Structure 1
Amino acid sequence: MRILLKIVLAGLAVLFTACDSGSTIDAKSLSKTKIEAEKRGFVSTSFVLLTTDEKFIGFKTAENGLDFDEFKGKKAVIVDIFATWCPPCIETIPKLRELKDRYKDSLEIVSVLFQDDKTVEEMKEFIKEYQINYPITMGEENQKLADELNVTKVPEMFLFDKNGKFVHRFVGNVPKDELEKYLKIAIED
């Protein structure tokens, strides 16, 4: 699965690195390539992430993205891999909070705590301090997911449409208008 995901992400990274900030991004900009090679090697992996308020977010990997139990067919999903010690991660929070408010009926944000040894109580205080309005997950499954997505630095965000299809990967502190361009595509698809 990692190899397949790396191929898809590398292809999409090449596709989008040629776009400048003035480029028009629409559904036609997204890759329509089907990954036929390595189909026989694909193995779906299930994940169950635990939120700070003791709820579960379940999904499994799919050939073209993530298959979310709760959100499939209802909401686009941003998987935000972050750490509390990371300044760009902290700078991203107000943007995500605003997007969650604006698109509350069609967007879910799942923040995944990455390589950050915090207690649930510390994370609840962090959530309160930054007024976070979306779930944050903690635990061993977070690292497994980060490994599956080949995360090496934070923040990294992965956007999936309402059907769980991968739309775009964001690395670093991304401008809100850039996030919103792709988010609109994910919601409309």
Structure 2
Amino acid sequence: MTQIANQRALSARDLIVRSPELFRGLPKKLRGLYRVAQQRKNPVNNLASCFELVASKFPDNIAVMFEGQSLSYSDFNRKANQIAHYLEGTGTVKGDTIVVMMENRVELLLCVVALAKLGAIAALINTSQRGNVLEHSIRLVSPKRIIVGEELFDACMAVESALPDGD
């Protein structure tokens, strides 16, 4: 028993000899601890809250431009809120997984931000998937709902058996 206790004890000499090991990387560790402490003070550090903060500070600035279409932060935020309210009305709640499958466009970003506002998880599915691969991807994430662009509607209907039961 005393032998085990002696092996765990460190002498002042051991501390001095090992101090370079102990202090190596200390500044990096302290910065990490500081960041964690700051995040605990300000837990509002997610996509939805960051977007709303920027929208409140710069409402008239352009948030997104795509193929000749542009939206200001206030317009984008308003549209994302509309989508979030709709999804909430259909029963989407925090923690739900929702598949989002549409080609790149403004509506894709709106859906992702809307889901973030609800605390739901946006599972983005590769738009080139078809058949068994698409079915596997949908089953893998077990979504409560699927948001699909009209250009991919036929691909989703072809794997209808993998779609969640409608609400």
Do the two structures share a fold, i.e. TM-score over 0.5? no
Larger Rg: 2
TM-score normalised over the length of structure 1: 0.27
TM-score normalised over the length of structure 2: 0.29
Q: Counting helix residues as a fraction of each chain, which structure ranks higher?
A: 2
Bigger relative CO (Cα 8 Å, ≥ 6 apart)? 1
